[in-house]
Amino acid sequence: MSTSHLDALEVQWLETYNQRNARSLEANKTAQQLIAKGQRTRFNSGMPYPIYVASGSGSRFTDLDGNTVLDCNAGWNASFIGRAHPAVTAAVHTAMSSIGAPGGAMHPSPIRDEFAQLLCARIPGAERIVFAPSGSEANTYALRLARAFTGNQIIIRVAGGFHGQHDALLGEQSSKTGLSPTAHDNIVTVPYNDLSAVRDVLQSRHGSVAAVIAEPMMTIPGAIHQRDGYIQGLRDETRKHGVLLILDEVITGCRFAVGGATEYYGLSAAPDLIVMGKMLGGGLPVAVVAGRADIVEQPISASNTHAQNPVALAAAVATMKATTPAVFADAAAKGEKLRQRLREIAERLGFSLAVTGDGPCAGVHFSSEEIVDYASAERADHRLWRLMCLGLANQGLGLTSRTFGPTAAWTDEDLNTAIGGFEVTLSAMAKAHQLDHERATA
């Protein structure tokens, strides 16, 4: 049997990818001898190996082979204001040359407290904070705080949600190799956007639940946005049952609005704990748990050498000052336009494509059903998704995770470049798909 048109397209795009990225391919061969596979190739996209960055600024970078790439994943969600932002670069230089980069806790510098003041003024419900160097550690502390405060053990999490490397929180899409078999003993998993499932657990396990942890918009399965006031519903139900709500805003916190998802979705009351990281540091490692003072003051273990690094905090302060309400509104408007144009392109091509997302974030799912949770996202055609990422890479669009979209660094031209790249890629895929369909039904 001859190969399908989609198979042939994949072979052709792989060849193009290898030709475009010959130097990155060579660099990857060296890296294979030095760096564990899990950290070299953690991709759910179609690229066979990552593209190395030679230089970059704003929304774009130049790779080792001299190609210009539009960053569609915000530097793996670590920088909303783009690469080498002048204010962040200057702040880092100043802090590094005047303070240096020691661990910060024992001899703090004023930049730490300026950061705390700014953050607490921006985020509703942030009365006090605990620092961490990563979202994973911040979520670890959030769980400890919730269990210490309530005296309960059970944590309700959402299927398909990712909260970092805490053993108990590693979910559907992470390797369980090396975990203790008891790691998930006190974890109960519910589907996203299903309030009745949470209600059922809160009732059946009444008196045992410490917290519900959820992202305002699920990111790893592809920008699955809340329906029917789900997050407000979580706030109401947790309150009713005396259980804490931990909102994991590691991705959304510095992307949706100055006040994060609480402001963006207009929640009537703030979450008890808000976890932030990634974009918070403007590309440098800064994370926090913020929330009610009486919860955050629980005497958990949270000492951490790199958690209050003054250089990283200088970058975070500069980032907060640069991200005004107008900056968030502009990125969200671009996100809305991107989602709209993707829907139009798919409709014109006759492709079954579900476009999801909120704020500046978008997700696409090759599926004819509405994508509301991890299960529906899993039923989409992942092979087509990977092929699309490969095609986009050859168009100079860097898209390596399922949630993508504009950042504050994107210009109108960037938005048009992205839409154009999707159009070219999806058109080629639709053509091959149609030819395969015709052959199958002939």
Quick check: 46 binds ligand PLP (CB under 6 A)? Answer: no
Binding to ligand PLP, residues 113-152 (CB under 6 A): 134-136, 139
Quick check: 248 binds ligand PLP (CB under 6 A)? Answer: yes
Q: How far is the CB of 161 from ligand PLP (least distance, A)?
A: 7
Query: What distances in angstroms separate CA 314 from CA 58, 96, 274, 304, one per listed residue?
Result: 19, 9, 21, 18
Q: How far is the CB of 213 from ligand PLP (least distance, A)?
A: 9
Q: Which is nearer to ligand PLP, 134 or 238 (CB)?
A: 134
Q: Which is nearer to ligand PLP, 280 or 345 (CB)?
A: 280
Amino acid residing at 112: R
Quick check: 358 binds ligand PLP (CB under 6 A)? Answer: no
Q: How far is the CB of 139 from ligand PLP (least distance, A)?
A: 6
Q: Which is nearer to ligand PLP, 219 or 238 (CB)?
A: 219
- Please tell me whether residue 134 adopts helix, strand or coil conformation: coil
Binding to ligand PLP, residues 206-225 (CB under 6 A): 215, 219
* Pairwise CA distance, residues 80 & 330, whole Å: 12
Quick check: 272 binds ligand PLP (CB under 6 A)? Answer: no
Quick check: 432 binds ligand PLP (CB under 6 A)? Answer: no
Q: How far is the CB of 251 from ligand PLP (least distance, A)?
A: 5
Quick check: 226 binds ligand PLP (CB under 6 A)? Answer: no
Q: How far is the CB of 26 from ligand PLP (least distance, A)?
A: 28
Q: How far is the CB of 284 from ligand PLP (least distance, A)?
A: 11
Quick check: 373 binds ligand PLP (CB under 6 A)? Answer: no
Residue window 74-93: x/- pattern of binding to ligand PLP, with contact defined by CB under 6 A: --------------------
Residue of the chain from 163, 235, 292, 433 that contacts ligand PLP (CB under 6 A): 163
Binding-site ranges for ligand PLP (CB under 6 A): 134-136, 139, 162-164, 215, 219, 248, 250-251, 277-278
